[in-house]
Amino acid sequence: MQRICVRKAERKYLRSGATTVEMALAAPILLTFVFGIMQVGYAFMVQHALQNAAYDGSRAGSLPNRSTAAVTSAVNGMLDPLGLSSSATTTIQVNNLPASVATAVSGDNISVIVAVPLTEVTLFPGFFSNWTGNLTGAATFRCQ
């Protein structure tokens, strides 16, 4: 019986570096997947925040005594916690034409479109900084 135990110990000693080599080969692939999942999740969160910012902005523009500054303030108020208000582009439309919300009358549609470049939405700039395009959020309210 002792002889079997010695052989198991010898076999374990001979394979002691195999685990390290396997981990060295698998870790970069695993980490790439984990970072990719985190990045896509963050992009979805930012997309949701942009949609909420557009919703709040168009709601502020549809209320009585409305102003373009109130719409921009509502949008920036939603994006400030994420640090995206400086890179966001806000477009305000009245009946699908760029205009000031102060010119809108009751029954007009107030649309707010908020866009952020994808390069501003990266958690890991070294890995995902080559993205192009924008994330956008849009909402429309009828003026009261």
pLDDT digits (tens, 9 = 90+) for 73-106: 999 999 999 888 888 999 999 998 998 888 888 8
Residue 103 DSSP one-character state:
G
Does residue 48 carry a pLDDT above 90?
A: yes
Q: What is the pLDDT of residue 25?
A: 92
Q: Please, what's the b/e burial string for 33-62 (b: 16 or more CB within 10 A of its CB; e: otherwise)?
A: eeeeeebeebbeebeebbbbbbbbbbbbbb
Residue 94 to residue 103: CA distance in whole angstroms: 8
pTM for the whole structure: 0.79
**In the predicted model, what is the mean pLDDT of residues 44-63?**
93
Q: What is the pLDDT of residue 36?
A: 87
Unique residue bearing structure tokens 């999740």: 41
